[in-house]
Amino acid sequence: MFKRVKEATYLTAEKAWSYRAILRYFYIQHERMREFLFPEEIYDYLRQFDAFQEYTEDALHQDLDALEKWGNVIARQELGKSKTIEEFKKRRFRYQCTPYTVEFERMLVGLERIGENFGGSLERTQFERLYQSLLKIEETIQPDSSESDEECAQIWEDVTTYFRQIIKNTADYMAYINSEEVEERMQTEAFLVYKDQFTTYLRDFIIALQGTALQIQDLLLGITKEQRQLFFEKVIRHQGQTFRFEEIKEDPLEDLDGTWMSLMAWFLGNEHGESEYEMLQQRTNETIRRITRVVQRLGERHQHFRSRKKDYLHLAKWFDSMESVDEAHELSSVAFGVFHTRHFFIDHIPTDDIYVDVWDEQPMEHQTKPRIIKYKEKTRAGAIQSNQVKKEKMMQKHLEEKRREKKLIEQYIVENEIKVEQLPVIEAHVRKLLLSWIGKAMARKDRTIKTELGRKVKVELEKDRVILHAEDGVLDMPKATFQFLEEEVRQ
């Protein structure tokens, strides 16, 4: 595993220019299903390039000997079809490139195509294809399933192929959009032309990812270890039919089970932290926020250089038309704001509730520290205080609020339904709760979620518009119906 890879020597050798040209020709012919090449045809190929005009056949034989020593080509002596006495006396070889060489050249061709930038993409269809392949696995592990070993092996091949494509494409694309070159392009005015297309691309990917990934998570959790091993036994039986001279030492079941655990860790996470799926969501959302900040800065920069002469003249005429100073003061407060105002920022979070309004929060205290180099805060040792009583009070208060919210929301339920068009003037937090249910339901294919109240709700939206009246305002929204589903009692 950690041995020196001598087959890669030709890439950094002093005569890499000739070694690479020779092996590139071997790779091209290998892709055309020609395995054995004679030195004469290799020499004719090289002579078409300007760098090989002074290249001799003896130099070619020396290069082929070096490549054979490094394990890049295999020489086989050609005993028949000698046309002259010289050919009969001289040992004639034909050459075949090794698997290492083919993979090296295939990798180099791919690198040459992508250039110095990362490739990759955020393909929504790959997650859907992976989900469909996993659904087929779920069907094959059923007792009445009749899929053959070959069909099971093909399904597993599809799963691993789509999973590898997802890992490679998403990782490469994230590296691309976070590269220095993309960062520089985003700082230019030309980026404004592509911002909508770029944001739509990321947003559509996130929406499709959330819907499909949640289905994949449910499916992975529903397949037990015993069912998985029965499926893998069929795959191993089919793989064992492939004839090999060499003996395979690795345990195929351990290899297949390791790939499955990697698939589960990618979507569900492991004991070491969050899943790659959640990290991909966070990084994509952060990219959208970064685009928004860049566009805002570009807009401010554009606004800064725009002439506001006409605006100031219009404002001056407006002030001139005022009949009293009091009216001018009122206009000034709207146009320029309040003068001599100080704004303080307190690095303190009074509550974790995201639905609390600013005017409902308690005032925060700010302690101004003297700007003196030698100033140091006084510290003194203190005992550890138990906050158990305070925690219990906070817990009781939280549970009481939840019970009050549950009682409040239940008064709007009629025959296990809440219809927005039939609601009276509702409380502000009830409005926020209903909107949060709609947002969560839109991310699921069946539009069904489990609420904070512990009940399943199915949300149905219609094209018609209705007016929702709340204590904090009026909301124009689609006609929505919340159906509370009865829980099935498991035996």
Q: What does the pLDDT look like over 359-397, one tens digit per residue? A: 777 777 777 777 777 777 777 777 778 888 888 888 888
Q: Is residue 453 within 8 Å of residue 409, measured between CB atoms?
A: yes
Instruction: Answer for the pair 331, 322: CB distance below 8 angstroms, yes or no.
Output: yes
> What gap in Å lies between CA 189 and CA 157, rounded to an integer?
46
CB 481 within 8 A of CB 417: yes
Is the Cβ–Cβ distance between 90 and 175 less than 8 Å? no
Q: Supply the pLDDT for residue 273.
A: 63
Residues facing residue 458 across a β-bridge: 448, 483
361 neighbors 350 (Cβ within 8 angstroms)? yes
Is 189 in a helix, a strand, or coil? helix
Exposed, middle or buried, 180 (CB in 10 Å: 0-12/13-18/19+)? exposed
Q: What is the pLDDT of residue 118?
A: 45
Give the neighbor-by-neighbor strand order of the sheet with 473-485.
417-419, 473-485, 456-470, 448-450
What's the token pair of residue 247?
A: 């003996």
pLDDT of residue 444: 81
Which residues in the chain land under pLDDT 50? 116-119, 488-491
Give the pLDDT of residue 405: 81
Please answer whether residues 250 and 301 qualify as being in contact, where contact means their C-beta atoms are separated by less than 8 angstroms.
Answer: no
- Round the CA-based radius of gyration of the chain to a whole number and report it: 35
Q: Rounded to the nearest 10 degrees, how much is the dihedral formed by the CA atoms of 463, 466, 471, 474?
A: 90
Q: What contacts 199, CB < 8 A, 6 or more positions away?
A: 288, 291, 292
> Are 80 and 60 a contacting pair, CB within 8 Å?
no
414 forms beta bridges with 417
Q: What are the helix and strand counts (H, E) for the chain?
A: 16, 6
**252 neighbors 168 (Cβ within 8 angstroms):** no
With beta carbons less than 8 A apart as the criterion, state whether 318 and 331 touch.
yes
| Phi–psi pair at 222, nearest 5 degrees | -85, -15
Q: Going by C-beta distance under 8 Å and a sequence separation of 6 or more, which residues neighbour residue 382?
A: none
Q: How far apart are CA 389 and CA 369, in angstroms?
A: 33
User: pLDDT for 137-167, tens place per residue?
Assistant: 888 887 777 778 888 888 888 888 888 888 8
Q: Is the backbone of residue 120 left (phi > 0), alpha (psi -120 to 50) or beta? A: left
- Rounded to two decimals, the pTM is 0.42
Predicted confidence at residue 258, as pLDDT, reads: 84
Residue-level pLDDT at 455: 83
190: tokens are 């030309």
CB 433 within 8 A of CB 421: no
Tokens standing for residue 368:
């101004």
Question: Which pLDDT score is estimated for 79?
Answer: 59
- Separation between Cα atoms, residue 127 and residue 131, nearest integer Å: 6
